[in-house]
């Protein structure tokens, strides 16, 4: 149950769990295997991110291991600072031949502390946050390793087209926004 009157769809700060996942792009382009719908077991359906821009953010051939590349996504507004990095080890959501290229929003999910520049290559982590020390694991979808934060870093969904890397969506909510697509 929620007391929210607008369900988060028309500008209010309140979101249901369902609308959060729908609007935060929890579904990525690709296919989903159906397992418990009568008559459709084992069939795949196409799924796609709705509403997010498809933005060219870099080239695979230019990435160097443990050298983050900053960019903005899904827009150029506040809180959209993001980093692309080749970790040199397979990571959740990673693309490329080594499945090691990932991207994350760089605002701490606790209270918005700035994490750009806090990449720790030895641990493949982002942090500690300068405000309350939260550190995030970039190999495990940005989950919290330690500190005050409880939510994973928003991860950027990536696609590879030849040598070009595109941002196509996000998992998780950017700190300070009630909708990732409204800056």
Q: Could you say whether residue 110 binds ligand FES (CB under 6 A)?
A: yes
Collapsed DSSP state (helix, strand, coil) of residue 101: strand
User: Which of residues 116, 131, 143, 145 is near ligand FES by CB under 6 A?
Assistant: 131
Catalytic residue, candidates 59, 110, 141, 148: 110
CB of 77 to ligand FES, least distance (A): 19
Complex with ligand FES: residue 74 or 149, whichever CB lies closer: 149
Q: Are 128 and 139 in contact (CB under 8 A)?
A: no
| Whether 132 is catalytic | yes
- Give the DSSP letter string of 116-151: TT-EETTTTEE---TTT--EEETTTTTEEEESS--S
DSSP code of residue 24? T
The owner of tokens 């959209």 is 80
The CA angle 6-74-51, to the nearest 5 degrees, is 55
* The one segment of 31-39, 107-115, 116-124, 153-161 that binds ligand FES by CB under 6 A: 107-115
Number of chain positions touching ligand FES (CB under 6 A)? 13
CB of 155 to ligand FES, least distance (A): 17
Nearest residue to 105 via CA among 89, 119, 84, 87 = 84
Please list every residue from 134 through 163 that binds ligand FES, using CB under 6 A: 134, 147-149
User: Which of residues 28, 108, 144, 170 is near ligand FES by CB under 6 A?
Assistant: 108
Question: Residues interacting with ligand FES, by CB under 6 A?
Answer: 108, 110-113, 129, 131-134, 147-149
């Amino acid at each position: 149950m929620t007391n929210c009157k607008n369900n988060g769809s028309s500008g209010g700060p309140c979101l249901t769990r369902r609308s959060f996942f729908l609007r935060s792009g929890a579904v990525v382009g690709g296919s989903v295997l159906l397992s418990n719908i009568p008559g459709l077991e084992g069939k795949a359906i196409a799924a796609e991110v709705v509403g997010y821009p498809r933005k060219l953010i870099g080239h695979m051939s230019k990435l160097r291991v443990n050298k983050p590349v900053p960019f903005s996504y899904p827009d150029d507004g506040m809180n959209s600072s993001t980093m692309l990095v080749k970790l040199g080890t397979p990571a959740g959501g990673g693309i490329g031949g080594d499945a090691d290229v990932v991207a994350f929003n760089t605002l701490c999910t606790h209270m918005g502390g700035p994490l750009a520049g806090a990449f720790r290559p030895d641990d493949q982590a982002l942090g500690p946050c300068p405000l309350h020390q939260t550190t995030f694991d970039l190999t495990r979808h940005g989950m919290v390793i330690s500190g005050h934060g409880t939510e994973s870093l928003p991860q950027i969904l990536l696609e590879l087209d030849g040598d070009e890397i595109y941002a196509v969506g996000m998992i998780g909510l950017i700190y300070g926004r009630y909708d990732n697509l409204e800056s």
